[in-house]
Structure 1
Amino acid sequence: MMTNLFSTFDPSTNILNLPLNWLSTLTGLIIIPLSFWFIPSRLSMIWIKILTLLHMEFKTLLGNFNHKGSTFMFISLFSLILFNNFMGLFPYIYTSSSHMSMTLSLALPMWMSFMMFGWINHTQHMFAHLVPQGTPPILMPFMVCIETISNIIRPGTLAVRLAANMIAGHLLLTLLGNTGPMMNYMMLNLLIITQILLLTLEFAVSIIQSYVFAILSTLYSSEVI
């Protein structure tokens, strides 16, 4: 039984001690490999075209760091988040990307690996990043503090941005849907149209947020070289 509105986002729901909420995250690992055994369909060809465009864009953003295969990490990240965002649009399926335990576990290890790589291999370059070019000498200590703080909170902002955007739309849909039984037929028709428009917006948000997460991760990686 639902005790409050936010219990729909509670990852502890289970049946016979099996956490079923996170099952949607693993569904892609079962479904996606099957597509490699079939003759390419129009859908798979469209998906390959999208991934090729992403590869070219990530390749441009990475710049000098563009080693062979380096874009696959960000393409995989985009695909994983996009799949989980889409799964959350179906009824009674838990949106795993709306929970901080998943978004932070994606952002934090990646940011830590970038920082370790940068400080170990390009120490002078990382120190130079702390003071933007053209900063007056009197402001340099403050700029170092500001740049350090902005660098440290990057994984948190990545995780919160994705989780908050996914939760906000789902909460709005839930709140509006709960008012349905108390409405007359005229208002109910208006509510259904509103819900369809909001669902379309959520569809767009799920694509945009996965793209933003992958693009920002690419930009953060390009700064460490």
Structure 2
Amino acid sequence: MMTNLFNSFDPSTNIFSLNWLSTFLGLLFIPSMFWLIPSRWNFLWIKIIMILHNEFKILLGTKIKGSTLIFISLFSIIMFNNFLGLFPYIFTSSSHLVLTLTLALPLWVSFMIYGWLNNTVHMFAHLVPQGTPPVLMPFMVLIESISNIIRPGTLAVRLAANMIAGHLLMTLLGNTGSSLSLLMINLLILTQLLLLILESAVAIIQSYVFAVLSTLYSSEVN
């Protein structure tokens, strides 16, 4: 029995909880390459990868070959986790800051280390936008530094908040079903279906936003 609404998102205090194993269920959705003739799912997956590769290549440039692979993989793992959370009794690991910060923080730290070690002048130039009056330069450096430091937090919170908001709304509506009339239950089912379609779109959009923002952050350090 739930003691409060957020218990449905409780991953358990045990670090070896089976709930977190849902993160690896996404591997089952990756199409197998063992068949001689590719399936339609295989064609669709390759098409998605090529579209993402072309978009990320424009943002990153051609300085490092194969650099789009890490961002395509990031998009894939987030999208699979978001989608799996829409199925009943499957734990949504992407709605927790434990997972989202684990993805965002190492990426940001590695970008910062690489940028400050290899392109120090370029990183200093980013702190003062072009055309800033000399009087405002100290304030701009402070503002840009703060906005740079909170980037991993905003990446992680954006993904977790968007995922948990829709799930909470669906949980709230679902819990009211037992006390409604037949007409209202039909309206509730219709509303839940519309919310499910919306959450499916959010699952794709949020994974795409996370991957694109990570790509933009990495392109700034080159």
Normalised by the length of structure 2, the TM-score is 0.96
Q: What's 2:47 paired with?
A: 49
Is the partner of 1:37 in helix, strand or coil? Answer: coil
Give me the whole-angstrom Cα distance separating, in 1, the residues matched to 2:26 and 2:158.
23
Cα–Cα, structure 1 residues 18 and 151, in superposed 2: closer, same or farther, change >3 Å?
closer
Q: Alpha-carbon deviations, 1:83-133, whole Å to 9, x = none?
A: 100100100101000000000000000000000000000000000000000
Give me the whole-angstrom Cα distance separating, in 1, the residues matched to 2:17 and 2:87.
18
Q: What's 1:119 paired with?
A: 116
Q: Are the equivalent residues in 2 in contact too, given 1:84–1:97 (CA < 8 A)?
A: yes
1:22 matched to 2:20: yes
For 1:12, give the aligned amino acid: S
1:7 matched to 2:38: no
1:72 matched to 2:65: no
Give me the whole-angstrom Cα distance separating, in 2, the residues matched to 1:212 and 1:99.
17
Alignment of 1:1-225 (within 5 A): 1-12=1-12, 18-29=16-27, 31-32=28-29, 35-38=32-35, 39-63=37-61, 66-225=63-222
For 2:71, give the aligned amino acid: F
Cα–Cα, structure 1 residues 182 and 33, in superposed 2: closer, same or farther, change >3 Å?
closer
Cα–Cα, structure 1 residues 131 and 195, in superposed 2: closer, same or farther, change >3 Å?
same
Is the partner of 2:88 in helix, strand or coil? Answer: coil
Q: CA deviation at 1:63?
A: 2.3
Q: CA deviation at 1:167?
A: 0.0
Cα–Cα, structure 1 residues 204 and 32, in superposed 2: closer, same or farther, change >3 Å?
closer
Q: Are the equivalent residues in 2 in contact too, given 1:81–1:210 (CA < 8 A)?
A: yes
Q: CA deviation at 1:37?
A: 1.8
Give me the whole-angstrom Cα distance separating, in 2, the residues matched to 1:10 and 1:103.
16
Identical pairs, percent: 72
Give me the whole-angstrom Cα distance separating, in 2, the residues matched to 1:13 and 1:197.
33
Give me the whole-angstrom Cα distance separating, in 1, the residues matched to 2:31 and 2:150.
39
Q: CA deviation at 1:28?
A: 2.7
Which segments of 5 or more consecutive residues in structure 1 lack a partner in the other structure? Answer: none
Q: Alpha-carbon deviations, 1:47-66, whole Å to 9, x = none?
A: 100110100000000125x4
Q: Alpha-carbon deviations, 1:136-158, whole Å to 9, x = none?
A: 00000000000000000000000
For 2:33, give the aligned amino acid: F
Superposed CA RMSD in Å reads 1.4
Q: Are the equivalent residues in 1 in contact too, given 2:9–2:91 (CA < 8 A)?
A: yes
